[in-house]
Chains A and B, each alone.
Chain A
Amino acid sequence: QKEVEQDPGPLSVPEGAIVSLNCTYSNSAFQYFMWYRQYSRKGPELLMYTYSSGNKEDGRFTAQVDKSSKYISLFIRDSQPSDSATYLCAMVNYGGSQGNLIFGKGTKLSVKP
């Protein structure tokens, strides 16, 4: 079982739709959660980060963490064609010997006008 699972998609939605992107993880030592957006042929860009269970909102984006279920989500409201990108979840393993971020493989999102 991989440490972080993320559906690769591709996910295609119409403009204005609500998008839900998800990751599951297997290790309860993961305590710090991030979402990155990566446009084609660009570097990942930090979108949101959170330590705690519950919701964190930033404009059209909401990050949700459920530590009891080991499940995190990113919701995008009123999706726009400019949201078309690959979305990567990432988390820090405080129980690991290496101090690094563990990334999901990314979900490719396409928002159609």
Chain B
Amino acid sequence: NAGVTQTPKFQVLKTGQSMTLQCAQDMNHNSMYWYRQDPGMGLRLIYYSASEGTTDKGEVPNGYNVSRLNKREFSLRLESAAPSQTSVYFCASSEHLNTEAFFGQGTRLTVV
């Protein structure tokens, strides 16, 4: 049982480049989330999807877009990467909104 799988694990981008972070869960969860984690800032919610077909902004959505492709998959896109988006990105899922979340192993992104 893989749980939540994120790809890639590491990425270096140049300023202005775009990329998509992929996330898939095999727990048949309804809700999925994207967080970023920065030193001293803790985990901050970027976007979430309460259920298939819906997405909503979190605390820090600027510069990002998301797609809930199906019940299993939730992707995060950076259209024009900026150095301020250097961070560790975590995808998570939960059975329903407001229940305990399970996290992937993270993507370490550096924007130079």
Stretch at the interface among A13-21, A41-49, A54-62, A70-78: A41-49
B56 at the interface (CB under 8 A from A): yes
| Interface residues as binary, B91-107 with A (CB distance below 8 Å gives 1, 0 otherwise) | 00000011111111110
Q: How far is the CB of A68 from chain B (nearest CB, A)?
A: 22
B53 at the interface (CB under 8 A from A): no
Q: Are A46 and B90 in contact (CB under 8 A)?
A: no
A-side contacts of B74, CB under 8 Å: none
Across the two chains, which residue of chain B brings its CB closest to A105? B42
Question: Contacts A44-B43, A44-B90, A105-B42; is A99 near B48 (CB within 8 Å)?
Answer: yes
The dominant DSSP class at the B interface is loop
| Interface residues as binary, A20-53 with B (CB distance below 8 Å gives 1, 0 otherwise) | 0000000000001010100001111110010000
A-side contacts of B103, CB under 8 Å: 36, 43-45
A69 at the interface (CB under 8 A from B): no
Q: How far is the CB of B6 from chain A (nearest CB, A)?
A: 8
Q: Are A98 and B45 in contact (CB under 8 A)?
A: yes
Question: Contacts A99-B98, A100-B33, A100-B48; is A105 near B41 (CB within 8 Å)?
Answer: yes
B-side contacts of A43, CB under 8 Å: 4, 90, 103-106
A-side contacts of B41, CB under 8 Å: 105
Rounded to whole angstroms, the CA-CA distance of A3 and B42 in the bound complex is 13
Across the two chains, which residue of chain B brings its CB closest to A98? B58
A85 at the interface (CB under 8 A from B): no
| Interface residues as binary, A68-104 with B (CB distance below 8 Å gives 1, 0 otherwise) | 0000000000000000000010101010001111011
Q: A-side interface residues toward B, CB under 8 Å?
A: 32, 34, 36, 41-46, 49, 88, 90, 92, 94, 98-101, 103-106
New A-B pairs, 15, CB < 8 Å, besides A32-B98, A49-B100, A104-B42: A32-B99, A43-B4, A43-B90, A43-B106, A44-B90, A45-B103, A46-B102, A92-B98, A98-B59, A99-B48, A100-B33, A100-B45, A100-B58, A105-B42, A106-B42
